[in-house]
Amino acid sequence: MATVEFRVGRRPHITVENDICRSCTTKACVTACPADLFTPTADGGILFNYERCFECGTCYLVCNSQGAITWTYPDGGHGVVFHRS
Amino acid sequence: MGDQQGDATQGETGPDKTAPDDATQGETGPDKPATPNVTAGHFDAVVVGAGPAGSTAALVLARAGRSVCLLERGPFPGSKNMYGGVVYGRVLDAILPRWWEQAPIQRWVTRRSTMVMTPTQSVSVDVRSRRWGEPPYNGATALRQEFDSWLAAEAVAAGATLVCSTTATGLLQEGGQVVGVRTDRPDGDLRAPVVIACDGVNSFLAKEAGLYHHTDAAHFTLGAKEVLGLERTEIERRFGLVGREGADLEMVGCTGDIPGGGFLYTNLDTVAVGVVLSVHGLAAAEVRPEHVIADLKAHPHIAPLLAGGELKEYSAHLIPEGGYAMMPDLVADGLLVAGDAAATCLAAGLWLEGVNYAIASGAAAATTAADALAVGDVTARGLAPYLRRLEDGFVLPNLRRLRRVPDLLLSARMQSSYPAIVCNVAEHLFTVTDPVPKPGLLRLARRELAAAGVRLRDAGRDGWAAVRSFG
């Protein structure tokens, strides 16, 4: 994924509520995210990096726990920039 | 907001010059002066999203003499967009006559293959026509960064005000009537009697307006692809192309346990290869999308086409695969929805189209908005003719007629049973069995249906559903 340009904004446009994630049995986001940004932690939570996000929306669609993922678009001009797609 | 126009695209660059005919440089870039009709954040219309739907809407409104602000959250139009994909240009004939002389096209699709495959077999229907390589053309491969920037530049040339690097964060509403959008710029409210939401597959604006009655993950697929660099002449040799001819390969049976399909498109000196995956199926399979792409690339009948290709870009995007079945309400007081935001996407196997539906819906929304502004009724009632316009063209008739196809294509039988049956029957058909006499085709088919555990009754029902949709 080093091939993609990201103009990283200061504000994380997606946040993950770890208290909810710890009780999640599927954690579908971990494999479904095409940018591989959701990492399970030892305590059963989720470590999430917003910096290399494609802004696709798959994570909130597969999330089965209400409120676990708060999803917005990055601030204007920030985030992923495709050049050859 | 008016005095911020100059900032909107400052320091930003256009898309990479990956093709010789990048028509947009300098037109949407930082040197573009603010157009004269910017007046302290008040427009006749605000269009959110400078994709094919939004730029077409802005173009049509500007031509109707309306002041229109075209908002784009990316640094340049197309920077957030990816697709398979092919642009079918017939819809542009009336909007931009002889568009093919200006549009930043990579290759004209003269070869359309549909491949049904198992891990070790494939059967292809390979359709080729020279006519598709001559004006007025049929389909074209294009990079969205170039194509979307070109279309947005056409809107700007017609008088629209393009403001990039600006995210619409919500709707401005007064008494239930949409009267503009909030943006993430300081004092960034933009007021307008009409807002056209072309904000893509996630359309938070349509959701905020309550137009989506449900968001069911079953209606979405994830498209993920790699763009691989290859010598131009090598692409032409491998795919049997001459000059600007291009190939479009669509595949089924190549996504393992996940309902979906594969695709391969030739650009000028890159090849786009990727998969479309049911979001539900992807979550259930616990397989990473890039691994599904890797498996497809390693398929014995695909790998030789890609050998030596250098990864240039990996990208992913959601697709409103459900089309008609997931369409939101398309109008509210002061608001119209078009493009992927309205799920105007035709994912019907034989036909995989989206950009043309986005353009058509954007044009229909803008024409409706211009009429409504002229008579001073921008309520949902005043904007209702939008639906009739979509009915009169190809958008709603095609989407409705093919509304059952997305589910049919993602069904278990279509995904794994039928590809194996087709491949096995074809392989046996052409395997010479001497000294045993040849089996009849029907006997072969019946044997493979039974081996795959498909009942004749179910096969018949699927066949009938296909005939009803495609026939």
**pLDDT value for B349:** 86
- Do A60 and A33 meet the contact criterion of CB atoms below 8 Å apart? no
What are the angstrom distances between the C-alpha of B391 and each of B52, B94, B356, B383, B385? 20, 18, 15, 14, 10
Q: Do B183 and A28 touch (CB under 8 A)?
A: no
pTM (two decimals): 0.93
- Do B58 and B366 meet the contact criterion of CB atoms below 8 Å apart? yes
Q: Do A76 and B183 touch (CB under 8 A)?
A: yes
Dihedral over alpha carbons B266, B267, B273, B278 (to 10 degrees): -100
Percent of chain B with pLDDT over 90: 87
Residue of A nearest to B229 (CA): A84
- Do B287 and B257 meet the contact criterion of CB atoms below 8 Å apart? yes
Residues 6+ apart with CB under 8 A from B2: B34, B38, B39, B40, B41
CA of A36, closest CA in chain B: separation in Å?
8
State the Cα–Cα distance between residues B377 and B25, nearest whole angstrom.
38
pLDDT in tens, B101-144: 999 999 999 999 999 999 999 999 999 999 999 999 999 999 99
- A85 within some domain: no
The interface pTM score, or ipTM, of the predicted complex is 0.97
Q: For residue B238, with 0-12 CB atoms within 10 Å meaning exposed, 13-18 middle and 19 or more buried, which class applies?
A: middle
CA of B377, closest CA in chain A: separation in Å?
32
- A56 within some domain: yes
CATH of the domain at A51: 3.30.70.20
**pLDDT value for B41:** 62
| DSSP for residue B32 | P
Confidence of residue A39 (pLDDT cuts 50, 70, 90): very high
Which member of B145, B164, B272 has the closest CB to residue A83?
Answer: B145
| B-contacting residues in A 13-52 (Cβ below 8 Å) | 26, 28, 31-32, 34-36
- Do B469 and B400 meet the contact criterion of CB atoms below 8 Å apart? no
- A79 within some domain: no
- A9 within some domain: yes
Q: How far is CA B366 from the centre of its chain?
A: 20
Closest CA to B348 of B319, B389, B310, B308: B319
State the Cα–Cα distance between residues B414 and B406, nearest whole angstrom.
11
Residue of B nearest to A63 (CA): B283
What total of structural domains would you count in chain A? 1
Token pair listed for B459: 């096969």
- Radius of gyration of chain B from Cα atoms? 23
The residue range of the domain holding A54 is: 5-74
Report which secondary-structure segment, H or E, holds B252.
strand B245-252
Q: Is the pLDDT of residue B241 over 70?
A: yes
- Do B199 and B51 meet the contact criterion of CB atoms below 8 Å apart? no
Q: Is the pLDDT of residue B380 over 90?
A: yes
Residues shown for chain A? 85
| DSSP for residue B141 | E
Tracing tokens 């608001």 back to the chain, one arrives at B335
pLDDT in tens, B204-230: 999 999 999 888 999 999 999 999 999
- Do B459 and B449 meet the contact criterion of CB atoms below 8 Å apart? yes
Any B CB within 8 A of A67 CB: no
| DSSP for residue B42 | B
What string of H, E and C letters represents the secondary structure of B292-338? HHHHHHHCCCCHHHHCCCEEEEEEEEEECCCHHHHCCCCEECCEEEC
